[in-house]
Amino acid sequence: SNGSSISWPPEFHPGVPWKGLQNIDP
């Protein structure tokens, strides 16, 4: 699990496909 490195809220980057909450490891 990499939940400690990626946390809510997901960060938006222009030009990078947005995955929303899918970016977050539950």
Candidate list 1, 2, 3, 11; residue touching other proteins; CB under 8 A: 11
Residue 3 touching other proteins (CB under 8 A) = no
CA distance 25 to 3: 5
- Residues 6 or more apart from 19 whose CB is under 8 A from it? 10
Q: Kindly state whether residue 26 participates in binding other proteins, applying the rule CB under 8 A.
A: no
6 near other proteins (CB under 8 A): no
Cα–Cα distance measured from residue 14 to residue 11, given in angstroms and rounded to the nearest whole number:
10
Residue with the two structure tokens 């970016």 = 23
| 12 part of the interface to other proteins, by CB under 8 A | yes
What are the residues binding other proteins (CB under 8 A)?
Answer: 7-15, 17-21
